[in-house]
Amino acid sequence: MTLTIATWNVNSVRQRLDNIARFVEAQAPDVLCLQEIKVRDEDFPAEALRGLGYEHQLVRGEKGYNGVAILSRRPLAGQNARSWCDKDDRRHASVRLDGEIELHNFYVPSGGPKPDRDANPKFDHKLSFLTEMADWAREEAIADRPLVLLGDLNVAPLETDVWNHKRLLRNVGHTPVESEHMARLLEAGSFIDAERHFVPPEEPLFTWWGYRFAESFQRDYGWRLDHVWVTPPLAGALRSITVFREARSWPQPSDHVPVILTLG
């Protein structure tokens, strides 16, 4: 039996409800992980999403900012969440699927405009967040468990994860120090980068096209900020990865597109 899991930073779940419905109609993932839902738990459109088939839900919302949700057609067990860097800013939720697969949905801080830990507290927060994630992966020995880690990790670590490596090397999201933190996190969990498992690292791969430049998507000025990783026990179950680029061309799109993992 296959299991399909999608991740999508929707940049406001209520504003993107029509697009979520359109995506579900096209792809119908078993599990849909959302980031940046920007809504309090009590205002989350739970009934509308149940109407799309997602009866089982774990929501950690925040008004106007952040927030993550895990929506599933299958029962969820072991529902949990953790606050990172001593901030309850709703950036993580986890569940257990099919009795054994752990699923962790993350929204890593973007890091602000300047890649300087001393001058920019938001950048310091981002690096501290990634460090704490690596410590967690190592201390809990997650490499030995069947686990999927996904979400908007807000780092494009490889040269081919951005449209112009040399031009963007000093931009937050693609700096060497952020890429080093991502590498340490990957190593701490012995993770397999599922996207790059199917798309060679020599090939460009993007999941985000910014709003600031109106033709960013048309000209493919993209970044890979959305990631799907699995631990070694799931390596043999990897079947496919789909980056659903067409969602970026829909009316009122998120700047991110869904990424779909198929296990089987």
pLDDT of residue 83: 96
Given a cut of 90, whether residue 16 has pLDDT beyond it is yes
Closest CA to 226 of 182, 264, 170, 169: 182
Mean pLDDT of all residues in 198-202: 98
Given a cut of 90, whether residue 99 has pLDDT beyond it is no
The boundaries of the domain holding residue 189 are: 3-263
Mean pLDDT of all residues in 176-183: 98
pLDDT of residue 148: 98
CATH number at residue 109: 3.60.10.10
Q: What percent of the chain has pLDDT over 90?
A: 98
CA angle 52, 103, 109 (to 5 degrees): 95
| Cβ neighbourhood burial of 204 (10 Å; 0-12, 13-18, 19+) | middle
pLDDT of residue 98: 84
Number of folded domains that form the chain: 1
pLDDT of residue 111: 98
Mean pLDDT of all residues in 57-83: 96
pLDDT of residue 127: 98
Given a cut of 90, whether residue 2 has pLDDT beyond it is yes
Given a cut of 90, whether residue 1 has pLDDT beyond it is no
Mean pLDDT of all residues in 150-165: 98
Say how many C-beta atoms besides its own lie within 10 A of residue 98's C-beta: 13
Q: Where are the alpha helices (DSSP H) in 140-252?
A: 165-168, 176-188, 194-198
pLDDT, one tens digit per residue, over 203-248 is: 999 999 999 998 999 999 999 999 999 999 999 999 999 999 999 9
CA–CA separation, 178 and 134 (whole Å): 13
Beta-strand relationship, 101-107 and 147-152 = parallel
pLDDT, one tens digit per residue, over 24-35 is: 999 999 999 999
pLDDT of residue 92: 98
3-state secondary structure of 98: coil
